[in-house]
Amino acid sequence: MNLSIKQLFGRKPKSSNIAKQRLKLVITQDRVDVDDRFMTRLHHELAEVLAKYFEFSANSVKMNLKQEGNSYILVADFPYTKFHDMSMRR
């Protein structure tokens, strides 16, 4: 009762609202952290495969996960300087 009157006059925000706001922030951060680790791994593995075919400098590589609505788009730039000649490698 006491609490309800306070809420009515907007002095003390509901603790459920505080919980929700805090959760939204922390979960956004959690998702980014998880994505970060995932991206680092993906980056290493992609680079390993692509290095068989192209020459590129590791620091020119850009990888990004973009969110559009409910889906994610992976954008990867691997600017290469040279194509390995596969026929030579055989």
Restricting to residues 4-23, name those near other proteins by CB under 8 A: 4, 7-8, 10, 14-17, 19-20, 22-23
Asked whether the beta carbons of 40 and 51 are under 8 A apart, the reply is no
Restricting to residues 61-90, name those near other proteins by CB under 8 A: none
Cα atoms in the 13 Å half-sphere on the side-chain side of 71? 2
Q: Is 40 in the site for other proteins (CB under 8 A)?
A: no
The span of 1-9, 46-54, 60-68, 77-85 binding other proteins (CB under 8 A) equals 1-9
Number of residues that bind other proteins (CB under 8 A): 20
